[in-house]
Amino acid sequence: MRFLIITQFYYPDTVALGQHLYDLSATLTGKGHQVHVITSGHAYENMHERYLRKETINGVRVSRLRNTAFGKSTIMGRATDIISFDLLLLWKLLFMRKKGYDIVIGMTSPPFTSFISGKIARAKKIKFVYWAMDLQPELSIASGLLSEKNILAKLLLLAGLSIFRKADSIIVLDKYMKQYLLSKGIHPRKISVIPLWPIMERVYEGEHEENPFRIAHQFTGKIVIMYSGNHSFVHPLDTLLGAALGLKDHLEFLFVFIGEGVKKKQVSDFKLKNKLQNIIQLPFQPIESIHLSLGAADVHVVILGEGQVGFTHPGKIYGAMFIGKPIIYIGPAPSHITDMLAECEGNIIVAHNTDKLVAELISFSNSQGNLEQMAGNINRVYACRHFDPGLVKNKIVEMLEKCNLKP
């Protein structure tokens, strides 16, 4: 089969979406399929970093558009980058051969990209599969970034509904996303619920205090509470930062923030304002060594904002559980995260409540590692059973192959 994947981010970009698509593409080519990726020509976090316009990576043909690179510092700049990407994509797809691919796979970001891709795929007699990582503008509305009465929000809602209705198949990440789509009249036969998988090549299995990442960053003797991932508007960090302030005199705790995003400055400013020595900030780590950075933590933090269940799906929980680490979940219930953790004893679940989180962390410290080891082991067993990378990727491939057989 011949696949065209359209995405704003792709390897070597460190954004999780790009890494998952890189993994899936490698699985597809490994099974004898042809994969072509159309993506952006610059890195998501560093607009000055340009990638080759055309190259082949592990058998995958990659074409990169030369869209603008103003970055995320301003709304206007970000909007210009997205619009330029969509216009260049539109121009490229207009010249795509009829039935030139068997399946076009579109993502939910940027907002209008899959609207364009789906329309042209339909006109060119090509199946269109929509892989819904986040639902926009629903997520932005729930986060308070966009008013439901805003004309742009209304246009995006109509465009999103049109994509779902016209898509030949849809992949969603959890049952709450599926329930939302069903409420909008999307036929259940179109929807496949398939979770994500941990994006790492290996797991660190050495002694915890001998982890090279822990040694390099002087974590020795500390209880490392790690938030690793995008610092975005939709994953509010206030509760976690409040806990760092509340535990500033508990010298055993170290709060480590790894990643980039618009909320990174919030962490920096909070640390500076409160003169906190228990917060460390580090950049995204390359996929080749992510097993060391994630393995350096004692506990991993997963955050979901209020009202966001069914609209977004933090994927960092998969990597943390897969390497056998306890989880601190901060967010509403029920959610796909609480559903998983309900089957895994020993993890910490709190609403957005700083005092409760502080109390839970002190209790965690007093367990002297017993809780950490128990929860970590349970999480590891659960992860291997439910979202082993090979298992999940093969499930997606099977779904795509079946989609191609549908009339």
For 121-178, the pLDDT digits (tens) are: 999 999 999 999 889 889 889 888 888 888 988 998 999 999 999 999 999 999 999 9
> Do residue 186 and residue 218 come from a single domain?
no
pLDDT band at 401 (very low <50, low <70, confident <90, very high): very high
pLDDT at 368: 60
> Do residue 373 and residue 313 come from a single domain?
yes
Helix (H) or strand (E) holding 65: strand 60-65
Once rounded to an integer, what is the mean pLDDT over residues 91-107?
Answer: 94
Query: How many domains are there within the chain?
Result: 2
Residue partners of 79: CB distance under 8 A and separation at least 6: none
Write out pLDDT tens, residues 162-178: 999 999 999 999 999 99
Decide: helix, strand or coil at residue 374. Answer: helix
Helix (H) or strand (E) holding 268: helix 264-273
> Do residue 265 and residue 312 come from a single domain?
yes
CATH number at residue 373: 3.40.50.2000
> Do residue 248 and residue 316 come from a single domain?
yes
> Do residue 289 and residue 343 come from a single domain?
yes
Q: Is the pLDDT of residue 261 over 90?
A: no
With respect to residue 111, please indicate whether it lies within any of the assigned structural domains.
yes
> Do residue 257 and residue 171 come from a single domain?
no
Report the C-alpha gap between 202 and 1 in whole angstroms: 29
Decide: helix, strand or coil at residue 62. Answer: strand
Tell me if 302 sits within 8 A of 279, measured CB to CB: no
Tell me if 159 sits within 8 A of 139, measured CB to CB: no
> Do residue 149 and residue 295 come from a single domain?
no
> Do residue 133 and residue 266 come from a single domain?
no
pLDDT at 73: 66
> Do residue 281 and residue 364 come from a single domain?
yes
pTM for this model (two decimals) = 0.89
* Strand pairing category for 2-6 and 34-40: parallel
The CA distances from residue 126 to 1, 108, 116, in Å, are 12, 19, 13
Q: Is the pLDDT of residue 200 over 90?
A: no
> Do residue 360 and residue 400 come from a single domain?
no
With respect to residue 182, please indicate whether it lies within any of the assigned structural domains.
yes
| Residue 369 backbone dihedrals phi, psi, to 5 degrees | 90, -15
With respect to residue 279, please indicate whether it lies within any of the assigned structural domains.
yes
> Do residue 160 and residue 228 come from a single domain?
no
Mean per-residue pLDDT over the chain, rounded: 90
Q: Is the pLDDT of residue 371 over 80?
A: no
With respect to residue 202, please indicate whether it lies within any of the assigned structural domains.
no
Tokens of 310: 């069914």
Domain that holds residue 181: 2-197+389-405
Which segment of 53-62, 145-154, 172-181, 335-344 scores lowest on mean pLDDT? 145-154
> Do residue 143 and residue 264 come from a single domain?
no
Once rounded to an integer, what is the mean pLDDT over residues 351-363?
Answer: 93
With respect to residue 326, please indicate whether it lies within any of the assigned structural domains.
yes
* Strand ranges (E), 234-380: 253-258, 279-282, 299-303, 327-330, 348-350
Report the C-alpha gap between 25 and 393 in whole angstroms: 10
With respect to residue 246, please indicate whether it lies within any of the assigned structural domains.
yes
Is the peptide bond prior to 12 cis by the omega test (within 30 degrees of 0)? yes
With respect to residue 203, please indicate whether it lies within any of the assigned structural domains.
no
Q: Output 46 or 69, whichever has higher pLDDT.
A: 69
